[in-house]
Homo-oligomer: A and B are copies of this chain.
Amino acid sequence: MALISSSRRLRRTPFSDGVEAAGVKAYTIYNRMLLPTMFRSVEEDYHHLKSAVQIWDVSCERQVELRGPDAGRLMQMLTPRDLRGMLPGQCYYVPIVDETGGMLNDPVAVKLSEDRWWISIADSDLLLWVKGIAYGYRLDVLVDEPDISPLAVQGPKANDLMARVFGDDVRDIRFFRFGWFEFQGRSQLIARSGYSKQGGFEIYLDGSDHGMDLWNALMEAGKDLDVFAGCPNAIERIEGGLLSYGNDMTDDNTPHECGLGKFCNTSTAIGCVGRDALLRVAKEGPVKRIRPVEIHGEPVTGNDRLWPIMDGDKQVGHISSSAYSPDFATNVAIGMVRMTHWDSTTEVDVITPNGVQPATVWETFWN
């Protein structure tokens, strides 16, 4: 691994001082912001995430705020998921598509009220697309990036830790719902969500100046729970089939290719700019789609580029994310596989940096 050169452009977060004090070893850049990737080691972080509780600086999940009378209309223009039944207090995972049905982002939409939304984004400047659409359609809506910095609390002991800091009522937050909780006199949005399968919360910190106080309060309260700094874990997220925008999908892909057809209500999501383009794929289905792929043989090192999936001399897909899983004692991977080879237990080959390795296509992820 090479070094990363610091600059203001690679933005620090309200929690960066805490991340550094915890001994962060590596970063990625996500939405032009620092996102830790490793503290002790990826494998040690992985075991700890599954057994204890971690505090994650995911400030890089920037928010796009929509506010004003046309906020709801604009939100529906962005996604093929039907939002009519969504209530304030709910979070929806929403594919965002352009006019050709290509994925621009796969964020979580947070409905604060009928005329106010946050879009908690994956790695693309979705703000620019939303501003462009709002301006082009002359909508009555303000679109900007507020001073909101999500901090995730993830792991089996997340409930206990959060209850100590925010009170027992946090235990009652249902999955993909949120409530408001006070911290140092300011009301904070807390959702039961997060980019792991271990359970937990995301605190949408309002006000950078409270960042280190919140970080320290959680670290202090969780000492006997073995709390430690963590981050989205490459192994755990691949086991669980959590997709990463930019890795596993890009604007070349439709939601249906990404296995997100269940979040597309193309017949009822009236107003979505990509609806026309998606009608056909919704009816006929995609010709390739994301699948879990088990790569046999030597442990792999993770993808810095796509690896071809082969059937003999013919390429039938590619691997976009991979890791050796200690718990499953095999290489777990996410691939985009052509229809001819996507049935469960199909045997293929993957060209990895190790050479050609046999692999099996599955239908369900490990977790």
Which residues of chain A have a CB within 8 Å of any CB of chain B? 1-10, 12, 24-29, 32, 37-38, 98-99, 104, 123-126, 128-133, 135-137, 244-247, 273, 302-306, 320-321
Can you identify 20 A-B contacts, CB atoms within 8 angstroms? A2-B27, A5-B37, A6-B302, A7-B28, A7-B244, A7-B246, A8-B246, A8-B247, A8-B303, A8-B306, A8-B321, A12-B304, A29-B32, A126-B128, A128-B129, A128-B132, A129-B132, A135-B136, A135-B273, A136-B136
Q: A5-B26, A7-B321, A10-B304 are in contact. List 20 more A-B contacts (CB 8 A).
A: A1-B3, A2-B24, A2-B26, A3-B26, A5-B38, A7-B246, A7-B304, A8-B305, A8-B306, A9-B123, A9-B246, A9-B247, A12-B305, A29-B29, A32-B246, A130-B132, A131-B132, A132-B132, A132-B133, A133-B136
CB neighbours (8 Å) of A28 from chain B are: 4-5, 7, 9-10
The smallest beta-carbon distance between A29 and chain B, in angstroms, is: 4
Give the CA-CA distance A9 to B116 in the complex, in Å. Answer: 31
CB neighbours (8 Å) of A32 from chain B are: 29, 123-124, 246
CB neighbours (8 Å) of A128 from chain B are: 104, 124-126, 128-129, 132
| Interface residue SS majority, chain A | loop
Give the CA-CA distance A132 to B138 in the complex, in Å. Answer: 12
Contact B5 A3 (CB under 8 A): no
Contact B125 A136 (CB under 8 A): no
CB neighbours (8 Å) of A10 from chain B are: 28-29, 304
CB neighbours (8 Å) of A123 from chain B are: 9, 32
CB neighbours (8 Å) of A27 from chain B are: 2-5
CB neighbours (8 Å) of A104 from chain B are: 128
In the A-B complex, the 7 residue pairs with the closest CB atoms: A136-B136, A132-B132, A9-B246, A125-B125, A6-B304, A29-B29, A128-B129
CB neighbours (8 Å) of A135 from chain B are: 98-99, 132-133, 136, 273
Give the CA-CA distance A174 to B6 in the complex, in Å. Answer: 35
The smallest beta-carbon distance between A97 and chain B, in angstroms, is: 12
Give the CA-CA distance A27 to B10 in the complex, in Å. Answer: 12
CB neighbours (8 Å) of A38 from chain B are: 3, 5
The smallest beta-carbon distance between A81 and chain B, in angstroms, is: 19
The smallest beta-carbon distance between A333 and chain B, in angstroms, is: 12
CB neighbours (8 Å) of A247 from chain B are: 7-9
CB neighbours (8 Å) of A305 from chain B are: 8, 12
Interface residue from B3, B8, B304 paired with A320 (Cβ < 8 Å):
B8
